[in-house]
A and B are shown apart, each in its own frame.
Chain A
Amino acid sequence: MKNGFVIFLAAFGVVLTSWCAFVLGPQLQLGGAKQVPVLNSSDVYPLNRPGEAAQGLQIYRANGCAACHTEQVQQDGVACEVVLTSAGKRNPAGVSNLVSTLKLTGLTELEAEAASDKITAAGGKAETHISATGVDISRGWGLRHSVAEDFLYDYPVQLGSVRVGPDLADVGRRLPDANWQMLHLYAPRSTVTGSAMPPFRYLFETKKKVNGESSPDALNFPKGFEPAAGYEVVPTSDAKKLVAYLLSLHADVPLYDAPFTQLSASTNAPAK
């Protein structure tokens, strides 16, 4: 091809297509998104983060927390489980026997319907519960996959790209204790043994106790990690805002695009 202009025009067209697909398209689809209704309720989601939490997002950004933590839960699929609600009056012993022979967890929908029908035919009553499945959900990192609405009011959206530390999308539900969060920031290894997280001591102040009494904000340390006698560790306002933000991180309401948020009986959440 000899003509530089032709090359430029065609390459321009290719980049324009990519721009349309990944900039214009998503902006048209999601750029005007508003609050959405919560399933089985007249509430809307999400609500604006309270002021301190919104400022905490800026502290999160400024310290580059997204370099190690993600805020996106993933889901691999759904699983049904059938739960016996009543053994019925006709043949309760037979129904109980039947239930003990059937597989009732980790079913597909068709399997769940078949099992439910069998129980009903035997005279009992059963309910089908559907829950989200996935490794993140089994770990207790979330109840459902993250969706666009979870980040509607956030600027900047801090999705993260690598899990040097655990996912934080639902950490406000999983670790709601402010003192634990503060301790984890000040001395990560006091809360999680063997953690690779660097401490953020510059977000705190160590000062002498006033009249030998701890101030209300002071951190409660576990044994072995307390500061020197007569001293206490107090969070700065940055630390308070950051913890407020972390505690505001919830992604646990059911929405149209993520309808399942019950944990099934079989999904146990082991150590995070």
Chain B
Amino acid sequence: MSDETKSCSTPSNPEPAAERSHLPMWIVLVMLTLLYLGGIYFDHHSGWFDKQVYSPYANAAMLESYQPQSGAGAILMQGKKTYEAICGTCHGADGLGKFNQAPALAGSDWVTAKGHNRLAHVPLLGLNGPITINGQQMSFPTGMAAMGAVLSDADLAAVLTYIRSSWGNKAAEVTADDIKAVRASMKTKLPPLTYEQVMALPE
């Protein structure tokens, strides 16, 4: 064998062996300390597995605090949240309605009507019986309960503004004052409404 590839192993036992002395504790202690410090860093910087928290935001609360709080954007966000919580189960998060359950809101002439009065009455008092949307007759086995009666003026206004500007709908916003006025004018009406009663209301 050439010089370069010589080894010092003796022919009778050429394979290496491993000596079994104990592992010193200091390295384990250092490892545990580093793991602890790492855990603290993870707590501060990782957003705790939230999929919307990206660096440089440290956590979900910080990200939430940076969302637009006022102005048109905030109203749309708030309206969207409320819509998805309350209306979306029947009318669909995509506004396309559910067969035999609730009509579509996307492209509906009720939603995009110039005035908001008739539209606002529906969640406030509920609606039963056959109705006509976009010239088409529809009927639903169960009617709509007064889902918006428990909402505040601002919340209901936000929901109506949201549906009037989503999924291709383009109609004017509805303000909290508008809803207040509608509620004031509702005193003599009883839930639930029928289609003819809604059509009898001013626009």
Q: Does B191 count as interface, using CB distance less than 8 angstroms?
A: no
Q: Which residue of the partner chain, among B55, B66, B165, contacts A42 with CB atoms under 8 Å?
A: B165
Is B56 in contact with A77, judged by CB distance below 8 angstroms? yes
Contact residues of B: prevailing secondary structure:
loop
Q: Does A117 count as interface, using CB distance less than 8 angstroms?
A: no
Q: Which residue of the partner chain, among B51, B54, B72, B165, contacts A258 with CB atoms under 8 Å?
A: B54
**B138 nearest CB across to chain A (Å):** 25
State which size class the interface on B falls in: 20 to 34
Nearest-CB residue, chain B, relative to A77: B56
**A133 nearest CB across to chain B (Å):** 9
Q: Does A256 count as interface, using CB distance less than 8 angstroms?
A: yes
**A41 nearest CB across to chain B (Å):** 8
Q: Does B73 count as interface, using CB distance less than 8 angstroms?
A: yes
**A23 nearest CB across to chain B (Å):** 15
Q: Please, which residues of chain A bring their CB within 8 A of the CB of B136? A: none
Q: Does A257 count as interface, using CB distance less than 8 angstroms?
A: yes
Q: Does A226 count as interface, using CB distance less than 8 angstroms?
A: no
Interface residues of B in 22-65 (CB under 8 A from A): 49, 51-57, 63
State the interface size on chain A (CB cutoff 8 A): 23
Give Cα A64 to B103, complex, Å.
51
**B130 nearest CB across to chain A (Å):** 31
Is B51 in contact with A29, judged by CB distance below 8 angstroms? yes
Give Cα A130 to B68, complex, Å.
10
Q: Please, which residues of chain B bring their CB within 8 A of the CB of A74? A: 55
Residue among A40, A41, A76 with the highest chain B CB neighbour number at 10 A: A40
Q: Please, which residues of chain B bring their CB within 8 A of the CB of A41? A: 73, 76
Is B76 in contact with A40, judged by CB distance below 8 angstroms? yes
**A251 nearest CB across to chain B (Å):** 13
**A202 nearest CB across to chain B (Å):** 39
**A181 nearest CB across to chain B (Å):** 29
Q: Which residue of the partner chain, among A76, A257, A260, contacts B52 with CB atoms under 8 Å?
A: A257
Q: Please, which residues of chain A bring their CB within 8 A of the CB of B165? A: 42
Nearest-CB residue, chain A, relative to B63: A257
**B124 nearest CB across to chain A (Å):** 24
Is A130 in contact with B56, judged by CB distance below 8 angstroms? no
Residue among B49, B52, B71, B167 with the highest chain A CB neighbour number at 10 A: B52
Nearest-CB residue, chain B, relative to A258: B54
What are 26 sample pairs from A and B whose C-beta atoms fall under 8 A apart? A29-B51, A37-B80, A39-B67, A39-B68, A40-B68, A40-B71, A40-B72, A40-B73, A40-B76, A41-B76, A42-B76, A42-B165, A74-B55, A75-B55, A76-B56, A77-B56, A78-B56, A130-B66, A145-B55, A256-B52, A256-B63, A257-B54, A257-B57, A257-B63, A258-B54, A259-B67
What is the interface of chain A, defined by CB distance below 8 A to chain B? 25, 29-30, 37, 39-42, 74-78, 130, 134, 145, 147-148, 256-260
The list of the 6 closest CB pairs from A to B, nearest first, reads A40-B73, A257-B52, A29-B51, A42-B166, A77-B56, A259-B66
16 further A-B pairs in the complex, CB-CB below 8 A; given A40-B71, A257-B57: A39-B67, A39-B73, A39-B77, A40-B73, A40-B76, A42-B167, A74-B55, A75-B55, A145-B56, A147-B54, A148-B51, A256-B67, A257-B52, A257-B54, A259-B66, A259-B67
